A and B are shown apart, each in its own frame.
Chain A
């Protein structure tokens, strides 16, 4: 019996230590990322603007189509599902409220974040990871080029701008999806629907959604970069870290979403 207790405590201790070690590494990375994004430009070393623009094209522009199509479907599905309940009460017009508020406050930021985590976060981890595996990161360091400034900061700037932008697209097209479904299949008066949406939506709803989107962009970039930088060698590890980056991003995004939602619920 004492042996079982001993090995259980030992395992717990090892897990705790490795968790603390990971936490330390993440903190070091976050510290470095924000130094090179915010402090270093103030000291006269601006970030690589052209690289940031090219990352914006890859993470933002190239994602527009997939975000827009999914947004339209989600808006339509939401309208359908709410109609299923609301028609019992003869309150079909309130679909406009439900779709508008649900998409701008919650579904827009979170589904966009999940799309971007799968599309761009995984690409960050795979790119940085394979560069680690082929000594390219070591080469950068040995040339006196900080890999975080060179690789991570342009990606962070890109996602900090593109995540809210994509979320805005999602919001607009998602509401359009609900609108199109409501006025066609459900036979709601278009003018009444638009009017109802305007009454229901507040600036607050949009702003809280976009603040969340910004934070999700930061989370996805840092998770992808962290997982990529942990690669030591080998293609197999690159694959494993890429998967881990997506799982961890989605987990953290939803965790932080709960936190933000609670925060906004009490303080707005």
Chain B
């Protein structure tokens, strides 16, 4: 099985706080991989590393055998960015542009295609996500679910090999969220690309995942396919799947220290 992403010994600090504590994992090509974990476990930070937005303190990330963390030479990172797409949590469409202009943006910047060709590609991409006829709308005129679909159309503009999703169901009602999961599945089936989704929504994980990576407190606690994930006996995985709250143990001594601030 070929790997799309190889992460080894990734360490990240925000100021003095260690966010990722030596993360190593591989993500198989051509599958839908879900990165799960509780809020604050470092999964969004990991995603930001994978899309090259932040640099790790140490460690390397290989994407299809290309090191995107290499110092100095930015051209490999630039090339990689043209071959991936990202749907951000709030869709991150440029509010000053229409949907069509948003989708056309990467094509205009990175290709020498003529305007009529770009128009056709834009209409195709919008149709792909079920937004035919919305090209002239501005992001502010759309609902949350439609914005995310438009975000996917923009992410798909350059026919990416890897498509990333940052919490696609965040802030959506269950029906819209399920529709988005369905869209992710369909795109994956049709285009056979590698899909990497960061989420903590259980229904979404069960619906779309082939492969699961679980992080906790900046460390990898589970890597494997969905069935193994469901059957896992690890307490931390079980707690996540069964939605059990973390047991908080307070001793009187600790509590005294907390309230006196010593």
Which residues on A are within 8 Å of B, measured CB to CB? 131, 134-136, 138-145
Contacts and interface: CB of A to CB of B under 8 A. Distances in A.
A140 B108 CA distance: 13
A115 B89 CA distance: 38
Interface of B: 48, 51-53, 78, 81-82, 84, 86, 88-90, 92-95, 105-106, 109-110, 154
Contact of A136 (B48, B86, B95, B110): B95
Contacts of B89: 135
Contacts of B110: 144
A13 to B, nearest CB: 17
B261 to A, nearest CB: 19
Contacts of A140: 94
Contacts of A131: 94-95
Given A142-B52, A142-B53, A143-B109, A135 B82 contact: no
A11 B95 CA distance: 42
Contacts of A136: 92-95
Given A144-B106, A145-B105, A145-B106, A139 B81 contact: no
Nearest to A144: B81
A143 B106 contact: yes
A138 B89 CA distance: 11
Given A134-B90, A138-B88, 4 more contacts: A139-B86, A139-B93, A143-B154, A144-B78
B105 A143 contact: yes
A52 B105 CA distance: 17
B90 A143 contact: no
Contacts of B82: 144
Given A135-B88, A135-B89, A142 B81 contact: yes
A143 B90 CA distance: 16
A214 B253 CA distance: 65
Interface centre among A131, A139, A140, A145 (most CB of B within 10 A): A139
Residue of B84, B89, B92 with most partner-chain A CB within 10 A: B92
A209 B242 CA distance: 72
A143 B92 CA distance: 12
Contacts of A144: 78, 81-82, 106, 109-110
Contacts of B92: 134-136, 138-139
Nearest to B109: A145
Contacts of B90: 134-135
Contacts of B106: 143-145
A138 B49 CA distance: 12
- Of A138, A142, A145, most buried by chain B (CB within 10 Å of CB) is A142
B51 to A, nearest CB: 5
10 A-B pairs with least C-beta separation: A144-B81, A139-B92, A135-B92, A142-B86, A135-B88, A143-B106, A142-B51, A144-B82, A136-B92, A145-B109
A141 B82 CA distance: 10
B81 A143 contact: yes
A142 B82 CA distance: 8
A138 B53 CA distance: 7
Contacts of B154: 143
Contacts of A141: 52-53, 81
Nearest to B83: A144
Contacts of B88: 135, 138-139
Contacts of B109: 143-145
A52 to B, nearest CB: 15
